[in-house]
Every structure is written in structure tokens, then in C-alpha cells.
Amino acid sequence: MQNDISCDNRVAPNIYRELVTMTVERITFAIVGVLIMATAGAYLATQNVYFLYATIFVGFMIFQAPFTKFCPLPMILKMMGVRSGSVFG
């Protein structure tokens, strides 16, 4: 048995397919989720109001993006050559 990811044909192709098909939207939602959890956790740990402001800003940006189609992160990802799906197309 090999140690690489392609050793099990039943599981590995599905994992590889998921990693390859990351679109701008999936990456954006993943990064935004991490940012919200990290800034909210930092606020709870330090009680520094600036972390709460960062959480509110990220939440507002993700709220307004479907209406205005403006979000800086997808723009950067598109410039990097990441494939776009339908939301920020």
C-alpha cells in the first residue's frame, strides 16, 4: 500500500475532486468563516472592541456582497486565476 492520496480508489478520487473544484465562492466562504470565528474568538479572549469591529465589518461585507456584487476577496482570487462559480461570476 502506498502512502499517497491516490492509494484507495474508492475514497481518494472524491477527496481530490473536492480539492480541485474549489471555486472563488467556496474559498471566499471558507476564508470569511475563519475570519469571523477568529475575530469573535479574539474578542471573547481579550475583550478588545477592535476585534468586534472586525467581525462586524466582515459580516457586513458578506451581507452586502449578493446585492452589490462587490467583495474584494473574490476580485483578488479571480486575479490569481481561481475558477469562478455562479455567485461572483
pLDDT for residue 46: 94
Q: What is the CA radius of gyration of the chain?
A: 17
Query: Does 5 reside within a domain?
Result: no
Angstrom CA distances, 85 to 30, 57, 82, stand at: 15, 24, 10
User: How far is the C-alpha of 57 from the C-alpha of 65, rounded, in Å?
Assistant: 12
pLDDT for residue 1: 47
Where do runs of H (alpha helix) occur along 1-89?
12-20, 24-46, 49-68, 72-79
Query: Does 16 reside within a domain?
Result: no
In the predicted model, residues of the chain with pLDDT beneath 50 are 1-4, 6
pLDDT for residue 25: 86
Query: Does 40 reside within a domain?
Result: yes
Grid cell, residue 5, equals 492520496
pLDDT for residue 49: 92
pLDDT for residue 20: 62
Query: Does 6 reside within a domain?
Result: no
Query: Does 29 reside within a domain?
Result: yes
User: How far is the C-alpha of 78 from the C-alpha of 14, rounded, in Å?
Assistant: 25
Query: Does 18 reside within a domain?
Result: no
Query: Does 13 reside within a domain?
Result: no
Q: Please tell me the total count of domains within the chain.
A: 1
Query: Does 15 reside within a domain?
Result: no
pTM for the model stands at: 0.69
Helix (H, G, I), strand (E, B) or coil at 3: coil
Domain housing 59: 23-89
